[in-house]
């Protein structure tokens, strides 16, 4: 992963050299002097050639697209015959290389690159010299870059001044200073030290009382005790959590157009508490990515998975739930890549990453880990949990116990009430006697229907069957204290 550097006005320097050579009667071919390097210096592929190929050629002849079956992202692709049957690069023979012919032709239909205009004379000269020198193309496995290697503990270098180097960090710093020919600065005064350590560990300046207390503390471990006190301060976790919350894209609102507020502050507090209790980083990682999947997760582990719920939520009318759920999954992939892998995975969403070792397939394999969530990217924010305030956790347990006791008592009362009501109903039925059928002596229909008395005491209607009717019946009884009348209509 080399860096590009401006080497200065080399073309003008070359022309000055030509001028001097002409003055002394020396004639040399012009094109070697137009190269981006001095005479006799081989072309640096990483600094001079690869940037040209990536910037001007890879869009049409790279890993994602190979027009005319030509690839210019590897040496094997460059020296292999393309669709035309000719190789773009013939090592050692720029005049036979199709690449040189196409970047120098005067035919506008044949000139390459097809986009962005012709290459500069300096770029053409560099490519010519590179091919002339054998088209050296270091095959570097990007995964061997130091950023992708597992860290290995290095022994601390021997300190030149053991009195200054009090720990291994000091020894590394001192060794680097000595390499640069530098000497450590004098130790800061106590006013400066107390301010620095307060800002480093809490992000807040010390109060005047704290400054005086430290300055007046003449004990040999005054600084160590100051550091320990600040590490134990709740402000330490608040200060350290800020950077992580930025990585986790924490916010108290949903984003997008409406930007309604959201209640996710318990996740913020969990991060602060994790720093304050010095939680191991591996557990810090597991809790946030998969805290809900561990056996018997605690409330804290469920809260930690709020890391994955910090995605934006669209509250706009007409939004498609699946569309924004997918956006949320991609956001989680990107955030985990940035926070834990130190990589921007977004590029591989559409194509294999051009610079980092992440392929298009690997992106969606990673995507699959997060593509099993049930939350939507709009409106519906479930699943969620109720999180009690820490100072009310004891009260919540007490109230839950009271609630269970009261509910059990109410259940018993309801069962007793049902039994007593059933007993009372049976008692009243026995006291009042059974229902008695009253004999009907006369029945008259306003609609013209006729009725006949049947042996069981009921009436049978016949004749006209009007839609609406009023029936008057005469009955006789010797009963007293009548409390109810039951009228039954029997289907035919």
pLDDT for 100 equals 95
How far lies 172's CA from each of 123, 163, 225, 288, in Å? 42, 14, 25, 34
Q: Give CA–CA dist 450/459, Å, rounded.
A: 10
Sign, CA torsion 96/102/106/109: positive
DSSP assigned state of 32: G
pLDDT of residue 212: 97
Q: For residue 64, what pLDDT is reported?
A: 79
The Cα 360–Cα 348 span in angstroms is 5
113, 20 in Cβ contact below 8 A?
A: no
H/E element, 79: helix 75-79
**C-alpha span between 10 and 122 (Å, rounded):** 9
Residue whose C-alpha is closest to residue 325's, from 291, 361, 367, 359: 367
Q: Which two tokens stand for residue 332?
A: 């989680």
In order of 197, 202, 206, the CA distances from 210 in angstroms are 12, 13, 6
Provide the pLDDT for residue 433.
Answer: 62
Q: CA-to-CA distance for 357 and 141, rounded, in angstroms?
A: 9
Cα distance between residue 235 and residue 198, in whole Å: 10
- Report whether 464 contacts 436 (CB < 8 A): no
Asked whether 55 and 48 are in contact (CB, 8 A), the reply is: no
Q: Specify the pLDDT at position 13.
A: 44
CA-to-CA dists, residue 321 to 312, 316, 374, 376, 378, angstroms: 13, 11, 11, 6, 6
Per-residue pLDDT at 401:
92
Question: 115 and 59 in contact (C-beta within 8 Å)?
Answer: yes
pLDDT score recorded for residue 248: 95
pLDDT score recorded for residue 63: 81
In this prediction, residue 36 carries a pLDDT of 41
Q: How far is CA 19 from CA 41, 289, 475, in A?
A: 20, 67, 140
DSSP 294-354: SSS--HHHHHHGGGGG-S--B-STT--HHHHHHHHHHHHHHHHIIIII---GGGGGTS--S
Could you give the count of Cα atoms lying within 13 Å of 296 in the half-sphere of its Cβ? 0
Residue extents of the structural domains in the chain: 10-144, 168-232, 257-387, 391-432, 440-475
pTM of the full structure: 0.59
pLDDT of residue 304: 96
Distance in angstroms (rounded) separating the CA atoms of residues 187 and 108: 68
Beta strand 449-453 with 459-463 is antiparallel
Beta bridge partners of 474: 442
What number of CA atoms fall less than 13 Å from residue 472's CA on the CB side? 4
Q: Which two tokens stand for residue 302?
A: 């469920």
Tell me the H-state helices in 216-280: 222-231, 234-247, 265-276
Give the DSSP letter string of 123-154: HHHHHHHHHHTT-------GGGSGGGSPP-PP
Provide the residue-wise pLDDT of the chain in tens; the chain has 492 residues: 333 333 344 333 443 333 343 333 333 333 333 334 444 688 989 889 989 998 999 889 988 788 999 999 888 889 999 888 899 999 999 999 999 999 999 998 999 999 989 999 999 999 999 999 999 987 666 666 777 888 888 899 987 788 888 889 999 999 999 999 999 999 899 999 999 999 999 999 999 999 999 999 999 999 999 999 999 999 999 999 999 999 999 999 888 888 888 889 999 999 999 999 999 999 999 999 999 999 999 999 999 999 999 988 887 777 788 888 899 999 999 999 999 998 889 999 998 887 788 889 999 999 999 998 777 655 556 778 888 777 777 787 888 899 999 999 999 999 999 999 999 988 877 766 667 888 898 999 998 999 899 988 888 988 888 988 999 999 988 888 787 888 888 876
For the beta carbon of residue 132, count every other beta carbon within 10 angstroms: 19
Sign of the Cα pseudo-torsion (116, 118, 123, 127, in order): positive
| Cα dihedral 33, 36, 41, 45 sign | negative
Q: Who contacts 304 (Cβ-Cβ below 8 Å, separation ≥6)?
A: 267, 270, 274, 287, 288, 291
What's the CA gap between 413 and 31, in Å, rounded?
105
Instruction: Note the pLDDT of residue 339.
Output: 94
Q: What is the pLDDT of residue 380?
A: 54
Token code pair at residue 376: 């939507």
Give strand ranges (E) for 363-475: 440-445, 449-453, 459-463, 471-475
Residue holding tokens 């590179």?
A: 130
């Amino acid at each position: 992963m080399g860096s590009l550097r401006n080497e200065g006005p080399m073309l003008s320097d070359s022309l000055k050299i030509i001028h001097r050579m002409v003055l002394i009667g020396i004639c040399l071919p012009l094109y070697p002097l137009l190269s981006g390097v001095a005479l006799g210096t081989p072309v640096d592929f990483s600094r001079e050639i690869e940037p040209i190929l990536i910037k001007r050629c890879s869009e049409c002849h790279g890993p994602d697209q190979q027009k005319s079956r030509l690839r210019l992202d590897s040496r094997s692709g460059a020296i292999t015959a393309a669709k035309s049957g000719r190789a773009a690069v013939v090592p050692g023979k720029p005049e036979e290389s199709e690449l040189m012919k196409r970047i120098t032709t005067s035919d506008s239909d044949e000139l390459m690159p097809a986009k962005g205009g012709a290459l500069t004379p300096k770029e053409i000269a560099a490519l010519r010299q590179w091919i002339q020198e054998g088209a050296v193309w270091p095959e570097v496995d990007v995964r061997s870059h130091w950023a992708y290697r597992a860290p290995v503990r290095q022994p601390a270098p021997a300190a030149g001044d053991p009195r200054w180097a009090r720990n291994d960090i000091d020894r590394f710093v001192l060794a680097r200073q000595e390499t640069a020919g530098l000497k450590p600065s004098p130790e800061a005064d106590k006013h400066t030290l107390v301010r620095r350590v307060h800002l480093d560990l809490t992000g807040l300046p010390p109060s005047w009382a704290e400054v005086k207390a430290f300055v007046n503390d003449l004990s040999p471990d005054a600084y160590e005790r100051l550091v320990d006190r600040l590490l134990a301060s709740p402000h330490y976790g608040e200060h350290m959590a800020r950077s992580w919350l930025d990585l986790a894209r924490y916010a108290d609102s949903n984003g997008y157009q409406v930007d309604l507020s959201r209640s996710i502050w318990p996740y913020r507090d969990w991060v602060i508490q994790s720093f304050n209790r010095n939680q191991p980083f591996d557990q810090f990682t597991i809790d946030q990515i998969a805290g809900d999947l561990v056996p018997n997760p605690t409330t804290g582990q469920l809260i930690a998975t709020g890391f994955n719920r910090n995605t934006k939520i669209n509250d706009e009318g007409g939004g498609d739930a699946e569309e924004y759920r997918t956006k949320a999954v991609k956001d989680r992939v990107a955030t985990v890549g940035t926070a834990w892998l130190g990589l921007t995975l977004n590029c591989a969403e559409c194509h294999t990453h051009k610079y980092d070792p992440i392929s298009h397939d690997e992106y969606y394999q990673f995507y699959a880990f997060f593509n099993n969530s049930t939350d939507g990217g709009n409106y519906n924010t479930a699943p969620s949990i109720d999180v009690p305030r820490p100072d009310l956790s004891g009260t919540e347990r007490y109230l839950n116990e009271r609630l269970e006791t009261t509910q059990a008592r109410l259940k018993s009362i309801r069962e007793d009430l049902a039994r007593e009501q059933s007993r009372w109903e049976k008692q009243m039925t026995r006291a009042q006697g059974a229902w008695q059928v009253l004999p009907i002596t006369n029945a008259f229909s306003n609609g013209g229907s006729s009725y006949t008395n049947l042996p069981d005491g009921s009436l049978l209607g016949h004749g006209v069957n009007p839609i609406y009717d009023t029936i008057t019946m005469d009955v006789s009884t010797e009963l007293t204290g009548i409390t109810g009348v039951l009228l039954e209509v029997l289907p035919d």
